[in-house]
Chains A and B, each alone.
Chain A
Amino acid sequence: MQKAVEDLGIGGSVDSIHLLIRTGEPVFIIKIRYKEATGKSILGELARVEERQKGLRISLENEFDLADALRALWTAYGRSKVEQAGRTEIFVTGADPAEIKRVRVRDKEIDMAGKINELAMRVIPEGFRVRSVRRSQGETTFIAAEDPIREEWREMAAKLGAGE
């Protein structure tokens, strides 16, 4: 599970994952709570830009944007001027703050629901081919089994992680 989250690069966006596995029935329920993607795509919207003595320090709000931000800055200023300073921090030398805030980090919006869907598909045992999905704002619940989904499983899924 941990490896699947790492591979998809959504560690910073997933708030919690609850699993209920009953091999005897058999049923597999997974509830994932996550932060919805913001739809922001300009660096000025995604990060705080501070002027330092030798350049600009860019602090991203979400680690998820790091790869795209680095790619965009490397394209705009070259690798020699852009340095990753931490998990959410980038240091750029010789750039104008107003100009850097206008750098477009990505063209398309992130399909976070698609990534969560992919995460669940990777984790759910492959033999459990009867599936039921319930999505709401920032939360997706999958019920997977070999038999038709029972009402009691739906109730269990609804209660899963409710104590938080």
Chain B
Amino acid sequence: MLKYVIFEGGLYRHERLLEFLEDVGGFVVQKTVAGLDLILNMAVPEEELPRLTAISGELKGKLREAPLIGTEIGIVAPTLSRHHLPHPACDIAEHLRRHGAKTNIMGLARGVGQKLVHTSAGERELIEEHDLAVFTLGNFEHCLSFKSPLFRELSIPVIVTGGPTSIGSIRGAQGYVGGIGRYPERFRTGEMIERLREISDLAGRLIEERRREIDQDPLAVDPVVVKEEVERQVPDALEALSPNPVTLKIDGIRVKLPFGQYSEKVANAVINGRRLGEVAVIKRSLMRDYILIRVLPRSKLPGGFVAAESRIP
């Protein structure tokens, strides 16, 4: 199983890390260079982690585990108005990004009130394009109990944040973090930053759980491999101006290119001797016409799973 880690250090001699990853079958998920500083999000085989730690120590860098690398998380506010945005949603998103996640912020059309509250099929589908959703709800315990229609039908793990600290859980959500609610300013105090840490920790646990579930019926190809191959075989993907033009997800990737123009090229990318279109569902994303690729589990492959080695002549 791959472990996801973040390296924070200098740019000097970082090629050692890249060479090591290449040697042991690891991957660079995201590389951010700021001046002479480097932040490297990596996936490395679990058994190679001690050696990677040793190398990063030699480079005087910091290495920390970040289970949220390779995940796309949706932060969902009840509406787009100033009642619910920007502070709680943006601060939560920023903290999740520091732990490696790619985040998208969304506002619902009618996520408010006790009677009005609901989501449309389109909104649910868009939220389900993510690996996990964080709903930022309000201050009143009684009102929170009416909000479960927002997330109870979702097939992805859900974390709810709200004002009351007295309630332990919310029906339909996998986790609840209190003490946030309709917070009208940046999270500056230690107490509020602790709340953000709670959300990231909880998200990390839920994502690990989901990865273990997937391991029961492994994917035909690891999404990290799909990402690398798509970037290599469809180079336009790296030219897209969107942030993270090829976004890694738990069970696939999102390619930020127009579906109509590029879906065929992406489907024809060859991975381990098979067309990507054969081992993954490629569909039009509801987000800006992007290409969404979900890798099929081995049990769902047409014709069953054949190990790559046995097909290479």
B114, A26: Cβ atoms closer than 8 Å: yes
CB distance from B115 to the nearest CB of A (A): 5
B185, A127: Cβ atoms closer than 8 Å: no
Report Cα–Cα, A146/B112, bound state, in Å: 10
Residues of A near B281 (CB, < 8 A) are none
Residues of B near A21 (CB, < 8 A) are 140
Q: Which A108-145 residues sit within 8 Å CB-CB of chain B?
A: 122, 125-129
Q: Pick the interface stretch among B18-26, B37-45, B75-83, B269-277.
A: B75-83
B140, A23: Cβ atoms closer than 8 Å: yes
B140, A128: Cβ atoms closer than 8 Å: no
| CB of B116 closer than 8 Å to a CB of A | yes
Residues of B near A126 (CB, < 8 A) are 78-79, 81, 83-84, 112-113
B185, A3: Cβ atoms closer than 8 Å: yes
The dominant DSSP class at the A interface is loop
Quick one: closest B residue to A147, CB to CB?
B115
B143, A26: Cβ atoms closer than 8 Å: yes
B82, A122: Cβ atoms closer than 8 Å: yes
A127, B82: Cβ atoms closer than 8 Å: no
Bin the interface of chain B by size: 10 to 19
A128, B113: Cβ atoms closer than 8 Å: yes
Known: A127-B116, A127-B117. A24 touches B142 (CB 8 A): yes
B184, A4: Cβ atoms closer than 8 Å: yes
| CB of B223 closer than 8 Å to a CB of A | no
Most B C-beta atoms less than 10 A away, residue of A21, A125, A128, A146: A125
B184, A146: Cβ atoms closer than 8 Å: no
Residues of B near A129 (CB, < 8 A) are 113, 116
Residues of A near B113 (CB, < 8 A) are 125-129, 146
Report Cα–Cα, A119/B184, bound state, in Å: 13
Residues of A near B112 (CB, < 8 A) are 125-127
Report Cα–Cα, A21/B143, bound state, in Å: 12
CB distance from A2 to the nearest CB of B (A): 9
Q: Which B50-83 residues sit within 8 Å CB-CB of chain A?
A: 78-79, 81-83
Residues of B near A3 (CB, < 8 A) are 184-185
CB distance from A7 to the nearest CB of B (A): 8
Residues of A near B82 (CB, < 8 A) are 122
Residues of B near A24 (CB, < 8 A) are 142
| CB of B138 closer than 8 Å to a CB of A | yes
CB distance from A102 to the nearest CB of B (A): 39
Q: Which A1-31 residues sit within 8 Å CB-CB of chain B?
A: 3-4, 7, 21, 23-24, 26
Report Cα–Cα, A7/B138, bound state, in Å: 20
Report Cα–Cα, A125/B83, bound state, in Å: 8
Per-position 1/0 for B75-118, Cβ under 8 A of A: 00011011110000000000000000000000000001111110
CB distance from B185 to the nearest CB of A (A): 6
